[in-house]
Amino acid sequence: MSVNPVKEGLFAPRETAPAGVGDPTVAVGAPVAGARPGIPRRLVLRWGLWGMILALLAQWGVQFIGFFWPKKVGAFGGVITAGNVDDYQVGDVKRINEGKFYLSRVPEGFLALWWKCPHLGCTVPWVPDAPSLDTIEPKGKFNCPCHGSQYDRYGQIIQGPAPRPMDMFPITIEGGKIRVKTGTAIQRVKADHQKDPVKP
Ligand code: FES
C-alpha cells in the first residue's frame, strides 16, 4: 500500500495527518481531533508576502521597459505619419500640425519642410491663392509675415531676408506610407530639386 508523501511548498502548509486519520478504529465520517477548518493564517500571510513581491517586480519591470521605449512617437520630435503617397497630387502642400511641417509633393518626390522660418523663427504660412514662385502650379507659396521671406514649393528662399531655404525633416516611404522624423532638421544652402525630394 502506497503512503502519500508529506507535502510542503511556498503556497501550501506542511501537511501532517491529524490524530485519528488512518486509524482503522475511527469510523469513516467521524470528527477528527486536531483538524482545523479554513485556510491557515500562516498560509494567508505567505500569499500576501509573495503578492507584494510580485507586484513590486511587475512595477519595476514596467519602469524598466518604459525607460527604453521611444516616447515621442506621433508628437513633434518623434516620427510622424503624414498619410499615404496616393493622398497627394503633384503640387499639393499639406500642413501637418503635429509635426510642425508642410508636406510638399513636387514632381521629383516629397519634401517635409519645417514651418519655422530660418530667419528669426516665425511660423511660415502656406498661402494657396498667392501667385506661385515655382513652375509646378500657378498658385501657392510660403510667405513669412514677420519680415517678408517668401519660399517656393521646394522651400527655396526666393525673396526676403532669410539666410537659407526652409529646413527639412528626413522622410521614409514604406508600403506607400510617408513617415517623417522630426527630431533633427536638415539645413540647406540651396534647394536641390534632384537630391532633396524623397521619391515615392
Ligand atoms: S522670421 Fe521670417 S522673415 Fe523674419
User: Residue 126 corresponds to which amino acid?
Assistant: W
pLDDT in tens, 34-60: 555 667 778 888 888 888 899 888 888
pLDDT band at residue 6 under the 50/70/90 scheme: very low
CB 112 within 8 A of CB 171: yes
pLDDT tops 50 at residue 1: no
Q: How far is CA 76 from the centre of its chain?
A: 11
pLDDT tops 70 at residue 8: no
- Percent of the chain beyond pLDDT 70? 76
Confidence (pLDDT) at 23:
55
State the pTM of this model. 0.66
Confidence (pLDDT) at 40:
77
Domains annotated for the chain, with CATH where assigned, are: 1-69 (no CATH), 79-181 (2.102.10.10)
Grid cell digits, residue 87: 493622398
C-beta of 100 in contact with ligand 1 (< 6 A): no
Q: What is the spatial distance between Cα 102 and Cα 96, in angstroms, rounded to a whole number?
A: 6
Distance from residue 83's CA to the centre of ligand 1 (Å)? 29
C-beta of 125 in contact with ligand 1 (< 6 A): no
pLDDT in tens, 180-193: 999 999 999 999 99
What CA–CA distances, in Å, run from 23 to 6, 35, 60? 17, 14, 52
Mutation probe of ligand 1 site: the residue of 147, 157, 167 with most atoms within 8 A of C-beta: 147
CB 19 within 8 A of CB 34: yes
| Closest atom of ligand 1 relative to the 122 alpha carbon | 1
C-beta of 122 in contact with ligand 1 (< 6 A): yes
Grid cell digits, residue 24: 482503522
What CA–CA distances, in Å, run from 5 to 1, 14, 35, 126? 13, 11, 19, 82
| Closest atom of ligand 1 relative to the 147 alpha carbon | 3
Mean confidence (pLDDT) of the chain: 85
pLDDT tops 60 at residue 68: no
pLDDT in tens, 80-129: 999 999 999 999 999 999 999 999 999 999 999 999 999 999 999 999 99
Quote the Cα angle for 190-193-194, to 5°: 120
CB 130 within 8 A of CB 137: no
